[in-house]
Structure 1
Amino acid sequence: MRTTSVGVFKVATNGPGDVSGLMAMINSGAIDPTSILAILGKTEGNGGVNDFTREYAVAALCTALAPRLDLSAEAVEQRIAFVMSGGTEGVLSPHITVFTRGEAERPAGLSGKRLSIGMAHTRDFLPEELGRSAQITETAKAVKTAMDDAGITDPTDVHFAQIKCPLLTSDRVAAAGARGNKTATTSAYSSMAYSRGASALGVAVPLGEIASDIRDQDVLHRYDLFSKVASTSSGIELMHNVVIVLGNSASSASRFEIGHAVMDDAIDAPAVVSALKSVGLGVAPHTAAGRELVNIFAKAEASPDGSVRGFRHTMLEDTDISSTRHARAAVGGLIAGLAGTGAVYVSGGAEHQGPAGGGPVAVIARLSD
């Protein structure tokens, strides 16, 4: 069995185009650029259709890495999986998390499963396929491929499945119409939810969390169907799904572990604590000896019934600030308080990602052994 070693590095950024922290780590030898497999980031835009900080951040990273990899910037984007989540409301801090992978010998005496990562892409989608069964089916295939790439055979060892998915624009809607086809919605903003939801269901199917007989009309309607580990983020910069699977594998010699829990709602602090405990950590500043928090990855969603534990919220009724921004700020503040840092990855829009109004939360810890 192939043995790999996965590295995880969290790097603060001063803006979406700031690559200085990453380049400093590369120059110091801490990161081998040829081993970079994926970069997940939080950028400080609005997280909406017109949040071009995501594309800006990817362009800056590709331009900086191109000469180090002896590739064009375009080729870098094909080689490395980039997932930028817009919106750092409240105390959330802009940053990137860099995942590396390389061949390694498993040290004698190393016990248990360690962090592993796998990546895959779907084919490009037609605009009329977004938010529908075609996106679900193709995503499910890509999740299986990514699991194989990570050396993960047991679905219960998958603790986080991050997906970057497309959205609709007026041009894309018009292109579908010119072929005589209708899209799931004509609203660019609503299309983000459809794409996120279908992608999440595409994670749930191969992991056995739901049955495979999902209909187009189930997306954004059957909220009893969801994945406990899916995290999906939509953007304008692509027309396919980028799938990154994170879990623990016996084929990994990594110094890291990952665990997860599921928040039932936006104020579910015990779930965050449970996720921390799953990798041997406690509420900050109390951590276990020999273990250090690297990062937390979570989804945030405004409860669709307009209430949290019986009390009304106004996130869905605010015409000045979108509900996803409210949710990121609320969940981000809760997690930051328990983790002791605002540099955590909290993404808004959790359709079919955890129960309605809640969402998955995953924690990566570094082990000293």
Structure 2
Amino acid sequence: MKCSIVRIPTRSPSDVSALGEAIRDGSIEPRDVVAVLGKTEGNGCVNDFTRGYAVQTLQRFFEGRIGDAASRISYVMSGGTEGVLSPHLTVISRTPNAKKPSGGTKSLAIGVRRTRDFRPEEIGRMAQVGAVAEAVRAAVAEAGIEDAADVHFVQIKCPLLTTDAIREASARGEAVVTEDTYKSMGYSRGASALGTALALGEIDGAALVEADICQAWEKYSEVASTSAGSELICCEVIVFGNSANAEGPFFIDHGVMKDAVDGDALRRLLDAHPEAELAQVLAKAEADPSGFVRDRRHTMLNDSDINHTRHARAVVGGVLAYVSGDPMIYVSGGAEHQGPAGGGPVAAVFRRKQP
């Protein structure tokens, strides 16, 4: 396969004008698009309807160009562009090749999968962990990635609990993991991240129990990025990695931020690939559950006006925008089991410079 990414700025969740221009100038071929990863300017919380609005807009846009084939595209929208983060879309394309590339150089490879739909009582529990692990393994295989070490970012859009879903489960005599809809976002993100860690061998599945979800912070994935929303009831999985079965100028690498101000994690990636051009940054943001960053107290967890995930996105977005020199990057809040407590994965997609 040959995979590529194109970043598209947006003026609103319903703006596809720049996307249309990219298609007209040949930068994007609609039939090759397998996923669209976006940052929308809502609050990123339970009632952030900019995510669903953007998904609906994109579905209709692609339906007008490729018909029913638009349904196979994964639309993953992450709400919240606090601080300097710029709303945008990252359009991911994959073109099949008739034969395996020669030369042994590993290039960007993408795999996309969906889980089954979840019942409300399964969200944030081991049923979700297992289903995500299965989908991640399938996406890795689809991408032609032969070594888990070559997986550098796994983006997952997962569901959350709404009051209607909680009521429906209760009517059937089923208990949900929490009746706090906001907290359900964290449980869903955490279960999805642990599913990724399980699939990639980052944790011992035999030692994983349901009580670990959003409790055992020492169990995490270094490449998972999960985002919860009310616009779906399954998990959409996008695996980013490198493979000798892929070709093209793009490749990806990753690091782990130890805390919200660890810009050196990205700087090390940039220094490791001076010969390449940075194409996109993908990262997770989290407020340290200890209440401290570098031994200094923070108040993100105690702010009754602004959710801590919004604080974290603003901080990490600002740090990584400074290091990369570009605020049009993908930073998602809520990093339960995604990197060490208070930190999170950061990946950089590069484009090799042509001779």
Task: Give the TM-score range, shorter chain.
Answer: over 0.9
Distance 2:98 2:322 in 1: 38
Q: Aligned ranges for residues 132-171 of structure 1 at < 5 Å? A: 132-171=125-164
Report the counterpart of residue 124 of structure 2 in structure 1: 131
1:172 aligns with 2:165: yes
1:33 aligns with 2:30: yes
Distance 1:149 1:68 in 2: 25
Q: Aligned ranges for residues 193-204 of structure 1 at < 5 Å? A: 193-204=186-197
Between Structure 1 and Structure 2, how many residues are aligned? 353
1:61 aligns with 2:58: yes
SS in structure 2 of the partner of residue 201 of structure 1? helix
Equivalent of residue 323 in structure 1, options 298, 305, 308: 308
1:342 shift after superposition: 0.3
Which AA in structure 1 matches 2:226? T
Report the counterpart of residue 235 of structure 2 in structure 1: 241
SS in structure 2 of the partner of residue 316 of structure 1? helix
Higher mean displacement: 201-210 or 26-35: 26-35
Distance 1:124 1:45 in 2: 25
Percentage of identical aligned residues: 52
Which AA in structure 2 matches 1:81? S
Report the counterpart of residue 114 of structure 1 in structure 2: 107
Inter-CA distance 146–108: structure 2 relative to 1 (3 Å threshold): closer
Report the counterpart of residue 361 of structure 1 in structure 2: 346
Report the counterpart of residue 285 of structure 1 in structure 2: none
Inter-CA distance 106–253: structure 2 relative to 1 (3 Å threshold): farther
Report the counterpart of residue 278 of structure 2 in structure 1: 293
Distance 1:172 1:249 in 2: 40
Distance 1:6 1:110 in 2: 17
Distance 1:241 1:269 in 2: 30
TM-score, normalising length from structure 2? 0.97
Which AA in structure 1 matches 2:13? P
Which AA in structure 2 matches 1:273? R
Distance 1:69 1:232 in 2: 28
- Preserved contact between residue 285 and residue 332 of structure 2 (Cα < 8 Å): yes
- For 1:25-50, what per-residue CA distance to the aligned partner results, in whole angstroms no more than 9, with x for missing partners? 11122211000000000000000001
1:104 shift after superposition: 2.9
Equivalent of residue 48 in structure 2, options 48, 51, 69: 51
TM-score, normalising length from structure 1? 0.93
Q: Aligned ranges for residues 68-83 of structure 1 at < 5 Å? A: 68-71=65-68, 76=70, 78-83=71-76
SS in structure 2 of the partner of residue 55 of structure 1? helix
1:103 aligns with 2:103: no
SS in structure 1 of the partner of residue 78 of structure 2? strand
Distance 2:98 2:270 in 1: 28
Report the counterpart of residue 283 of structure 1 in structure 2: none
Which AA in structure 1 matches 2:81? T
SS in structure 1 of the partner of residue 131 of structure 2? helix
Inter-CA distance 178–16: structure 2 relative to 1 (3 Å threshold): same
Q: CA RMSD in A?
A: 1.3
- For 1:72-109, what per-residue CA distance to the aligned partner results, in whole angstroms no more than 9, with x for missing partners? xxx62x31011100000001000000000012367987
1:349 aligns with 2:334: yes
Which AA in structure 2 matches 1:233? S
Unaligned runs of 5+ in 1: 281-287
Unaligned runs of 5+ in 2: none
1:273 shift after superposition: 1.2
Distance 2:116 2:55 in 1: 20
Equivalent of residue 8 in structure 2, options 11, 18, 33: 11
Report the counterpart of residue 209 of structure 1 in structure 2: 202
Report the counterpart of residue 260 of structure 1 in structure 2: 254
